[in-house]
Amino acid sequence: MTVVEDFGRLPALTPSLAPSLAPVSACPACAAVPAAERIAALRAARDARIMLSLPLAHCAACISTVEGSLSAVPGVRSARVNLTLKRVSVEAAPDVTPAQLIAVLAAEGQEAHELDPGLLSSTETDRQGRDLLMRLGVAFFSMMNVMLLSVAVWSGAEDDTRDLFHWISAAIALPTVVFVGQPFFKSAWASLRVGRLGMDVPISLALILASSISVYETWMSGHHAYFDAAVMLAFFLLLGRYLDHRTRAIARSAAEELAALEVPRAIVLLNGAEVETAISAVVAGDIVLIRPGARMPVDGVVIHGASEVDRSLLTGESLPVQATVGTIISAGEVNLTGPLTVRVTAAGKESSLHRMADLVAVAEGAKTRYTSLADRAARLYSPLVHILSFSAFGYWMWATGGDVRHAINISAAVLIITCPCALGLAVPAVITSASGKLFRKGLLIKNGTALERLAEVDTVVFDKTGTLTMGIPDPVGLADHSHEVLAVALALAAGSSHPLARALADGSRAAGISPALVEDIREVPGHGVEGQWQGTRVRLGRFDWCGAKALPVTASYLSVGGVTHAFAFTDRPRPGAAEAVRALKAAGMRIELLSGDSEAPVQDLALRLGISDWRAGVLPAEKAARVQALAAEGRKVLMVGDGLNDTAALAAAHVSISPATALDAARVASDIVLLGQDMAPIADAVRIGRQSARRMVENFVISGGYNVVAVPLALVGAATPLAAALAMSLSSITVSLNAMRLK
């Protein structure tokens, strides 16, 4: 293997490979031992627990097949399928590789992809979710029992029976409120300490006041106790909290799965041996081999090999760039034709991909300033609740001439009735229903406020390469070439794995061409393919290599005995792109296309999709600046992009969408991820976003409406515990039903 020989010619590099394990000694042979140690360390670093994603698993038979076939692999200790998450986790000996297991599953007809277990850190959210669910269960149990006892009281139990029922209710409700209310008490305390009145302050106050006044009333054998109201309040609010948590947990786990699908591995060359290792173990100075078709895992300088690299994810340009010895490459580029040996200049957190995160962080700071509908409602609502309750207390103190018991009773009733039970459900119920609906359409809502922000959008900015287009070339004007030329081109292209060659081969086969007889075909990495046809040398490849004049568009060139032919390519538009643009225009959006690509392809695509406002050759910083300029004009921008050059713009936009094929950084920066290839759901998303914002406002109005009726009753002291319970459950149910009306 050539790489090994070349590596041998680079002795100066060898000692630097083991800087941390041993001091660099003068004797060259000494360096070999630590290197061997490092090989062992790198190999051992791989986790014995393997996670595979099974996108097609759906039935009982799938579980049996997958578990059965995996358990039969020697070295596998156990395999367990989780059908809900469509994953299988395998406990195996260290020598079992994921590739081996994927091959076993492929033989059984199950598609599988490796997942990076380190990125699936769902245990923390799991624990939180389970904690909330447990409190919800306790609240439900208490609510049912207390409610049953309350029914007897409402229907006229008197004297000792009533007191007995109240005491039993107290015995159930008090521990429940203490246990179940903890999430509210904690967050209320946190917001009080920074001097704010969040939604949780009136909630906590209502819980505490209702419980203590009821205990006092029971002690004095009074008529009204609010134990049922306190527990029911806690239950409904926890339900809203749990829904909210679950929606976010599902989104987070799906986003994590996308990230975990790209297992970051690099092939490090150590003393000529190829060691497949995790990116985190690669250090600057290592020599890394990058095979054709692979994405660059690190930043570095090419020290051997020739190839072409696709920089479209980083810069947006669709034309591949030539890479030879000395070319500087950055993480995220795709190696197209030949194997490259690269000396690492920066890996992991230092690589250019990760440095971009700073830019994102700056832009994200702007986004957190958005106040959600729920926050705005709470800001309005929470002082009002307190003022009402205290003025009721004050008035009744004055009116009854200092009857503290009566005044506290009324102010507690006001607090319970105004308490935002329905408000707590208003937003989570809508978001749960809307994101479930959008998930089935192939859109993953990562951020809770993304839907509200989507509803406000009036401008859409698209990126070109990889977003509106697939990044897959499509040959144009094949019919302009003679049959013979196409036959030669097909013969040459068929042997190459270069994307342009593959597209050309597919295109000419589809046109019914059969390959000419070309001999001695060989691929020259970084240049093209050449061969002998009827005694003349024929070449298919780059313009300079074929001696042709370069076209302004992406093209491949064929030279036949000195005569050159050019095959032009366009980027294939993403399915649904035209529909999405049309639907967004119909919804009254202003649409812009910002691309880092050269002018000709951008203009071509803009014309095809009917976008009149387009710019080519835009730098990443200019994209972000344009988005910010639009925002400064008072426009709400939806940014759709996939590359590193879009990341800052995605983060700066009011709301952002990226396809699942986007770079990790872009997916992290965006609020919504498009899971499928089709772009049409974007228009749906905007529609559903607007609809759900409307539902949220409706829900606030509904719960406000109940208060308008019930609060005056409470203020004059006519609210019984029965009225409070009725108002609370009716408003919660109406709000949930309204949320489910989403289409």
Partner 1 sequence: MEILAILIPVSLFLGGVGLVAFFWAMKTKQFDDPEGDAERILTKDWDDRPKP
Among 115, 138, 408, 423, binds partner 1 (CB under 8 A): 138
Interaction of residue 148 with partner 1, rule CB under 8 A: yes
Coil, strand or helix at 502: helix
Interaction of residue 73 with partner 1, rule CB under 8 A: no
Interaction of residue 249 with partner 1, rule CB under 8 A: no
In terms of DSSP H, where are the helices of 474-598? 483-493, 499-510, 543-546, 577-586
CB nearer to partner 1: give 64 or 280.
64
CB of 408 to partner 1, least distance (A): 29
Site for partner 1 in 199-238 (CB under 8 A): none
Distance (Å, rounded) from C-alpha 257 to C-alpha 388? 48
Among 2, 25, 82, 497, binds partner 1 (CB under 8 A): 82
CA angle 731, 248, 440 (to 5 degrees): 90
229 in Cβ contact with 421 (< 8 Å): no
Among 22, 36, 83, 151, binds partner 1 (CB under 8 A): 83
Nearest to 707 by CA among 318, 347, 413, 401: 413
Among 12, 23, 74, 84, binds partner 1 (CB under 8 A): 84
CB of 134 to partner 1, least distance (A): 6
Interaction of residue 105 with partner 1, rule CB under 8 A: no
- Catalytic: 463? yes
- What is the 8-class DSSP label of residue 156? T
Interaction of residue 141 with partner 1, rule CB under 8 A: yes
Distance (Å, rounded) from C-alpha 452 to C-alpha 370? 10
DSSP character string of 576-642: THHHHHHHHHHTT-EEEEE-SS-HHHHHHHHHHHT--EEE-S--HHHHHHHHHHHHHTT--EEEE--
Interaction of residue 134 with partner 1, rule CB under 8 A: yes
Q: Kindly determine how many residues on this chain lie close enough to bind partner 1 according to the rule CB under 8 A.
A: 25
CB of 443 to partner 1, least distance (A): 21
- Distance between terminal CA atoms of the chain? 60
CB of 131 to partner 1, least distance (A): 10
Nearest to 446 by CA among 456, 467, 431, 433: 431
Interaction of residue 123 with partner 1, rule CB under 8 A: no
CB nearer to partner 1: give 168 or 713.
168
Stretch that binds partner 1, among 24-32, 58-66, 373-381, 661-669 (CB under 8 A): 58-66
Interaction of residue 619 with partner 1, rule CB under 8 A: no
Coil, strand or helix at 565: strand
Interaction of residue 60 with partner 1, rule CB under 8 A: yes
Structure tokens at 462: 């698209």
Interaction of residue 402 with partner 1, rule CB under 8 A: no
Interaction of residue 124 with partner 1, rule CB under 8 A: no
Residues in the chain: 743
Interaction of residue 145 with partner 1, rule CB under 8 A: yes
Q: Across 12-96, where does the E strand assignment appear?
A: 49-53, 76-82, 87-92
Interaction of residue 68 with partner 1, rule CB under 8 A: yes
Interaction of residue 534 with partner 1, rule CB under 8 A: no
Interaction of residue 64 with partner 1, rule CB under 8 A: yes
Structure tokens at 611: 């976008």
The single-letter code of the amino acid at 504 is L
Residues 6+ apart with CB under 8 A from 554: 318, 319, 473, 500, 568, 569, 570, 571, 601
Stretch that binds partner 1, among 126-134, 221-229, 441-449, 632-640 (CB under 8 A): 126-134
Catalytic member of 463, 571, 646, 671? 463
620 in Cβ contact with 463 (< 8 Å): no
Interaction of residue 130 with partner 1, rule CB under 8 A: yes
Among 3, 85, 392, 455, binds partner 1 (CB under 8 A): 85
Interaction of residue 63 with partner 1, rule CB under 8 A: yes
CB nearer to partner 1: give 246 or 265.
246
Among 8, 94, 137, 436, binds partner 1 (CB under 8 A): 137
CB nearer to partner 1: give 41 or 136.
136
Interaction of residue 56 with partner 1, rule CB under 8 A: no
Interaction of residue 144 with partner 1, rule CB under 8 A: yes
CB nearer to partner 1: give 52 or 719.
52
Interaction of residue 59 with partner 1, rule CB under 8 A: yes
CB nearer to partner 1: give 81 or 334.
81
Site string for partner 1, 153-192 (x = CB under 8 A): --------x--x---x---x--------------------
Distance (Å, rounded) from C-alpha 1 to C-alpha 14? 19
Interaction of residue 19 with partner 1, rule CB under 8 A: no
Residues 6+ apart with CB under 8 A from 233: 203, 206, 207, 210, 416, 419, 421, 728
344 in Cβ contact with 320 (< 8 Å): no
CB of 37 to partner 1, least distance (A): 39
Structure tokens at 282: 């690669």
Distance (Å, rounded) from C-alpha 111 to C-alpha 125? 28
Residues 6+ apart with CB under 8 A from 168: 149
Backbone CA torsion sign across 458, 463, 468, 470: negative
Task: List, by residue number, the catalytic residues.
Answer: 463
**Residues forming the site for partner 1 (CB under 8 A):** 59-61, 63-64, 68, 81-85, 130, 133-134, 137-138, 141, 144-145, 148-149, 161, 164, 168, 172
